[in-house]
Amino acid sequence: MADLGAVVAQLKAERAKLDKAIAALNGIAGKSSGGGSGTRRLSAAARAKIAAAQRARWAKFKVKKAR
């Protein structure tokens, strides 16, 4: 049978390589996602602008529907 100490050492070396690869991939994924909690917050002015645009779209839709 093979030397178990050598097998264990080889497995530990492979595990270290895999841990480094996983850490690198996690680092890449973390940077590309933009970080933070993932929630975006709009200012009050931005919300008002979006609401006004939506009201205008609904008004246009209601005018077409009334015809």
Specify the pLDDT at position 36: 59
Q: What percent of the chain has pLDDT over 70?
A: 84
Only one residue has tokens 């006004």, namely 52
Q: What domain count does the chain have?
A: 1
Distance CA 18, CA 46 (A): 46
Domain that holds residue 19: 4-34+42-66
Residue 52 has pLDDT above 60, yes or no: yes
Average pLDDT in the chain: 87
Region 41-64 average pLDDT: 95
Q: How many CB atoms are located within 10 Å of the residue 65 CB? A: 7
pLDDT tens-digit series, residues 10-42? 999 999 999 999 998 888 876 655 555 668 889
What are 11's two structure tokens? 């497995």
